[in-house]
Structure 1
Amino acid sequence: MSVDTPRSYTQPESRLEAAELLRRIGLELEALARLSLRIERSLSEIELPEHLPVGIVRELQGIDRISQSLSEFAILLCTVSAETPSEATFSRSELFSRLRLKELINNLDPAHCDALAKRDSDGEIQWL
């Protein structure tokens, strides 16, 4: 029985150190927290009606909770990263074959993203 193998599995097995991955995820969460804060500040500059429904106000305040949570998760992951044994590793292909955002893959593992770009470079334009 033959099983189709995704292109990301055709390269020899490559491992990524768990501590480094956790650190990079922490940095990505930190960047998302900053982005969330910028959105929150931008929304505060918009002139909203004086009598906004309470539910909408609560939903807008949820952006602050998102920012704080992302920031806390970033701290947590960076701390866990520092405590993770260097021999703990993950399969790059298993981790990144499920992600679709190339920018995120590049932020988490630039070497893996470069390898994907070389394999996927067939000259065709990829539209969003």
Structure 2
Amino acid sequence: MSGNRNFAQAAGHQIALGVLCDRVGEELLHLAALSAVVQQALSLFHFAEHNDAAAIRGLQGIDRITQSLDDLARLVRALAEQVPADQRLQIGPLLAGLRLHELQTRLGIDATPSPQVPCVLAPGEIHWL
């Protein structure tokens, strides 16, 4: 399993806590942006015309998720600026709890995280997981 390989690679490596906080903040910003895209996509389906209050509250929940992720990103990035530069953590145990290989890579042991490659689709194209 690729996640286990990444964990084994990182077992003896350390990461500065501030760097990790900054990377987690970046990831949260990325998730907030994805949530906003989902919200926009759902609005194109004209679900808002549905008058069921529970359904509308559910859709409004996406906006709350987006705002919460954005706020958490700001909090974690501000934390990154306040952490002493010499504060370091073992990265292996942290990565071991993550299931997504791409997330492990972005948060991992390298001095700089792997760039995020946005999924760009042609107009009208659908990419199913």
TM-score range, shorter chain: 0.7 to 0.9
Secondary structure (helix, strand or coil) at the match of 1:86 reads: coil
Once residues 76 and 48 of structure 2 are traced to their aligned partners in structure 1, the CA distance between those partners, rounded to angstroms, is: 40
Q: In structure 1, the residue corresponding to 2:47 is in which secondary structure?
A: coil
Which amino acid letter does the alignment assign opposite residue 106 of structure 1? T
In the other structure, the counterpart of 1:103 is 102
1:41 & 1:74 partners in 2: Cα distance?
21
Scaled by the length of structure 2, the TM-score of the pair is 0.75
Identity of aligned residues (%): 33
Partner Cα distance (2:39, 2:11) in 1: 44
User: Which residue is equivalent to 1:26?
Assistant: 25
Regions of 4+ moved over 4 Å: 9-12
CA RMSD of aligned residues (A): 2.6
Question: Which moves more between the two structures, 105-114 or 10-19?
Answer: 105-114
Q: Partner of 1:125 in structure 2? A: none
Q: Structure 1 pair 38/47, CA: closer, same or farther in 2 (3 Å)? A: same
**Cα separation, partners in 2 of 1:106 and 1:47, compared to 1, 3 Å:** same
Distance 1:89 1:48, change over 3 A: same
Write the mapping of 1:1-128 to structure 2, written as runs, cut at 5 A: 8-9=7-8, 13-48=12-47, 50-109=49-108, 111=110
**Bigger CA radius of gyration:** 1
The offset of 1:13, in angstroms, is 1.8
| Structure 1 counterpart of 2:98, one-letter code | L
Number of matched pairs: 110
User: Displacement, 1:48?
Assistant: 2.8
For the residue of structure 2 that corresponds to 1:100, the secondary structure is coil
Q: 1:57 to 1:66 in 2, by over 3 A?
A: same
